[in-house]
Structure 1
Amino acid sequence: MDTDILIVGAGIFGVSTAYHLAQRHHHHDDPSSIGITILDRGPAPSPLAASTDINKIVRADYSKPLYMDLAYEAMDAWANLPFFKDADVYHRTGWVMMDEKGSDLAERIRRNFRDSAREDVTFDLTEEEVRGSWGGVLGQMDCNGWGSYYANPSAGWVDAASAVEIMVNEAIKLGVRYEVGEASRIVLGKEGVGVEGVETGDGKVYRAKKVLLATGAWTSRLMSSLEDELDMPDEERIETQITAAGVCVAHFQLSPEEAEVYGRLPVLVCGAKGEILPPTRTGIFKFTNATSFTNTITTETGHQISAPPDRDQSIIPQKLRDESLQLIRKRIPQVLDGGKRPVDHFRLCWDSISRDQNQLITRHPDARLANLFLAAGGSFHSWKFLPTIGKYVANVLEGVSNGAEKDQAWRWKPVQPSAERGVHEKVIPKRDLNELE
């Protein structure tokens, strides 16, 4: 099966890129329009993608002005793109950030608001105001360790899986083809030059002039056999660029009465510990433990790579369950009903994370792979860019600069790490899943 551009992965990078490419180039009556194909292991919304979730945070609160600007651009699209607006997927509930004592993150973020040309709508809160607001839902919260609290009414959240599915359907309307298949191998071109396409587990080969890997936490696993075939040294492999990392998420199914109570809340960011999102329309209340972990495996050729485990992502080690319960007990203990109420659903959410938490949006630097591109490294903060990130990836596919700042941020990273602080440092993994089993 041949196409001009094959996009492997139907998460936010893949879907957004397909949509923006189709907007630019696909015309149903024009035989010269380019063919765009998305290949994913399942129908949209992709079942294992980090983007397939009940809800995700949308905010412009960044310590880096680049991402603050990108987030405002995305927030404008969330509010105004007709297909998102009509579906009412964007909920501007505001957020409250609780910063640990000794941390300067909140101050660095708010300095960017003050230094920009935009109105700074953030404001300080006291511990008493946090406990007493929103009907006193946080009245029992353990506030030990927090040094400051601030609110931003411009932030909110989006119905995540629904939004991805909506954008996939919009891309399909523009002529994008969506194929279901498990990518198992990148096929090298004749005489070892260029990439011919991707082979799926059932032996089908999808050939393309350009291949974009938007494969998130599964990128290293997919690239590994190709890197072996080209005998790449460790320092040139994708594992030097992005690492697969997971976090544990806990869901409670609320009654209508409970949903009304907890639905008063904004998004709550508990420093480096995690987030609490308001309940969805169906009453699912979500707590995220932001302390991430890797899952290191050794390939047949002896290379160590990171990749999600081959198992149901609802299988959670007891240590992680206990950690999540401890965090919930410190934030909103009453939801546990004195320990009598269990969590309704646990999930491991996997993403790829770069050293500096800048995304990896680039052509592969190896001259033998000149038609292979990457859009990954979401680093647990990129979902909010679904409406807009694809236009930047499309530029890279077409050899168009996104400007010096973005090109520098999203390039193939040098082996020597930069001394500059990261974009989303709290999610850097410091432990492995096998330590938690």
Structure 2
Amino acid sequence: MPKDSKIVIIGSGVFGISAAYHLAKEQYQNIKVFDKGDYDNNKFNPLQGATGASTDFNKLVRASYVEKVHYQNLALESLAVYYEWNKQLKSAAFLPEGLTNDDLIFKNTGYVRLDDYPNNEEERTLANFSKQGLRAYEYDINDPEDIERSKITGWYSKIDPLNQKGTVKTLSGVLDSIAGVANADKALLWMKYLCERTGNVDFIYGPRAGSVSKIVYSSETPEKVVGIETADGKYYPADYVIVAAGGWTPQLLPSKNQERLESVGSTFICVQIPHDRQDLLEKYKNFPMVNWKLTFEGNLRKDGVYMFPATDDGIIKIGANDHFWRYLTGNDKGILSVPNTDFKLLPLESLNTYKKFFRQWLGDLSNAGVKIEKSRYRFSAVGQHNEFVIDFIPGHSNLIVSSGGGFHGFKFLPIIGRFVEGLISGKDYKYAEFFKFDSIPKKDYDIELVKDQANPYALNSVKFVDRKTDYFDL
């Protein structure tokens, strides 16, 4: 494929910006990335107004995937790159605003998965880690030998961070000392910087210039894409168009292909540790990433919660296991779930999950008077079987979809874009077969698209919290 091919990428989140980087690295010289986010100003930070699922200040990086070994191995590959990025950033010159040599892109915090009922997921995950020679980095919280080993290696304090032993009689779990937290906004800024250093990528951001209003098809050959139009009325010709718009992806697909992905929303909250409580700051900064009641395969319990370590500024991000919200709207393609990032209120069901978690396990924060200072929705494109979709859209020779992050895609930022590069360059990278559009037959689809606005998970009709102050009480 000619290296001067005009390549348009819709979306500057994980899938889009990674594709741009891998294409630019292979000397494709004419790449344009469009996104309606105001990333030149908010620097991918949700606390400054960024709304994409990728735009965040922290994301989990883990390789535990039970028997989905393709994700496990890709995550391990990504981890190695994150460590290299940390080294490179320390000595990088001419950094853009928002990045400094003192920043970390990845921090090895550890990740503890806790549950209150027996399941064999951890056993299967540990078996696959053993095959990779990594079992020594995992600590079963109830295994005496693992507990003793954690004392020697310095991980013991993170085995029971919520002090649940003795309270939860059926407590089980594993501390994963390989995993950690990516500073997501810094990681995206870094990859954008790497793209721009090649001289092959232009980023067009903003609600007018960066918002793609239409994919333009050839009048003579309808299956061929010829370009895009943006909200400010400009037309950009393209030899390839890559749809990597996260939760906005399904609405950009041809209607007959939309059931392969669905836009699904989830909430998270931020609490601020009081500035005069240095003791609490030190405690929660040294927490591992925590999952409570979030099994990988049976991820259906509504009182499941994940919790990040506190930032240096004392902000703790906590998310509920509520990634089932849809916002339904009608258009010429029928009823479709689309992102709505204007919501300011939490669903009552989600708030009750947060309150229960604080009441049970975070009493010192509650006693210190913390409130929910910020709440946000994130809409992600979820694929059937929660598999990514990175492929040519059936029936189209130059229209590619790269999406389906399903709330677990960020960790693959360093490497996921190579699968798009492979499609354009004609390369067949390992594991690409898992991401084909037709890798899952329709008869095996496990997600039925929500179309009814009265559905209990449709944000159009759920009961919201009546917010009367600038924060929610916990």
Mapped to 1, the partners of 2:292 and 2:460 lie a distance apart of 26
Q: Secondary structure at the match of 1:387?
A: coil
Q: Please name the residue that 1:121 is paired with.
A: 137
Q: Secondary structure at the match of 1:251?
A: strand
Q: Please name the residue that 2:189 is paired with.
A: 165
Mapped to 2, the partners of 1:188 and 1:268 lie a distance apart of 47
Question: Is this contact kept in 2: 1:277–1:287, CA < 8 A?
Answer: yes
After superposition, the Cα gap between the structure-2 partners of 1:120 and 1:40, relative to the gap in structure 1 and judged at 3 Å, is same
CA drift of 1:197 comes to 1.6
Matches within 5 A, 1:245-394: 245-255=264-274, 257=278, 258-272=280-294, 273-301=304-332, 303-309=334-340, 311-337=341-367, 340-366=369-395, 369-394=396-421
Mapped to 1, the partners of 2:335 and 2:136 lie a distance apart of 46
Q: Secondary structure at the match of 2:460?
A: helix
Question: Is this contact kept in 2: 1:90–1:158, CA < 8 A?
Answer: yes
After superposition, the Cα gap between the structure-2 partners of 1:381 and 1:58, relative to the gap in structure 1 and judged at 3 Å, is same
Q: Please name the residue that 1:29 is paired with.
A: none
Mapped to 2, the partners of 1:141 and 1:332 lie a distance apart of 15
Matches within 5 A, 1:34-183: 34-44=29-39, 45-46=43-44, 47-63=50-66, 64-81=68-85, 82-84=87-89, 86=101, 87-126=103-142, 133=157, 138-139=162-163, 144=168, 147-175=171-199, 176-180=201-205, 181-183=210-212
Matched, 1:237 2:257: yes
Q: Which has the higher strand share?
A: 1
Q: Tell me which amino acid in the other structure corresponds to 1:61.
A: S
Mapped to 2, the partners of 1:397 and 1:140 lie a distance apart of 51
How many residues are paired up? 404
Q: Secondary structure at the match of 2:322?
A: strand
Mapped to 2, the partners of 1:194 and 1:251 lie a distance apart of 45
Q: Please name the residue that 2:233 is paired with.
A: 203
Mapped to 1, the partners of 2:371 and 2:343 lie a distance apart of 18
Mapped to 2, the partners of 1:374 and 1:20 lie a distance apart of 16
Question: Is this contact kept in 2: 1:93–1:157, CA < 8 A?
Answer: yes
Mapped to 2, the partners of 1:203 and 1:152 lie a distance apart of 50
CA drift of 1:215 comes to 0.6
Q: TM-score, normalised by structure 2?
A: 0.78
Q: Please name the residue that 2:242 is paired with.
A: 212
Q: TM-score, normalised by structure 1?
A: 0.84
CA drift of 1:373 comes to 0.2
Mapped to 2, the partners of 1:115 and 1:127 lie a distance apart of 20
Q: Tell me which amino acid in the other structure corresponds to 1:259.
A: L
CA drift of 1:312 comes to 2.0
CA drift of 1:98 comes to 0.8
CA drift of 1:287 comes to 0.7
Matched, 1:415 2:442: yes
Q: Please name the residue that 1:11 is paired with.
A: 13
CA drift of 1:35 comes to 0.3
Q: Please name the residue that 2:215 is paired with.
A: 186
Q: Tell me which amino acid in the other structure corresponds to 2:283.
A: V
CA drift of 1:84 comes to 4.7
Per-residue displacement from partner, 1:260-289 (whole Å, max 9, x unpaired)?
A: 121121111113213111011222111111
Matched, 1:406 2:422: no
Question: Is this contact kept in 2: 1:97–1:150, CA < 8 A?
Answer: yes
Q: Tell me which amino acid in the other structure corresponds to 1:237.
A: N
CA drift of 1:136 comes to 8.0
CA drift of 1:190 comes to 2.4
CA drift of 1:314 comes to 3.7
CA drift of 1:243 comes to 1.0
Question: Is this contact kept in 1: 2:322–2:350, CA < 8 A?
Answer: no
Question: Is this contact kept in 1: 2:12–2:34, CA < 8 A?
Answer: yes
Mapped to 1, the partners of 2:128 and 2:72 lie a distance apart of 8
Q: Tell me which amino acid in the other structure corresponds to 2:78.
A: A
Gap runs ≥5 in structure 1: 27-33, 422-428
After superposition, the Cα gap between the structure-2 partners of 1:134 and 1:65, relative to the gap in structure 1 and judged at 3 Å, is closer
Per-residue displacement from partner, 1:233-281 (whole Å, max 9, x unpaired)?
A: xxx322x111111111011122451221211211111132131110112
Gap runs ≥5 in structure 2: 45-49, 91-100, 151-155, 295-303, 448-454, 464-474
Mapped to 1, the partners of 2:318 and 2:17 lie a distance apart of 26
Q: Tell me which amino acid in the other structure corresponds to 2:263.
A: A
Question: Is this contact kept in 2: 1:56–1:157, CA < 8 A?
Answer: yes
Q: Please name the residue that 1:424 is paired with.
A: none
Matched, 1:434 2:454: no
Mapped to 1, the partners of 2:163 and 2:370 lie a distance apart of 19
CA drift of 1:41 comes to 0.5
Mapped to 2, the partners of 1:178 and 1:94 lie a distance apart of 34
What is the root-mean-square deviation of aligned Cα atoms in Å? 2.9
Mapped to 1, the partners of 2:167 and 2:35 lie a distance apart of 43
Q: Please name the residue that 1:426 is paired with.
A: none
Q: Tell me which amino acid in the other structure corresponds to 2:337.
A: S
Q: Tell me which amino acid in the other structure corresponds to 2:179.
A: A
Q: Tell me which amino acid in the other structure corresponds to 1:307.
A: V
Q: Tell me which amino acid in the other structure corresponds to 1:253.
A: Q
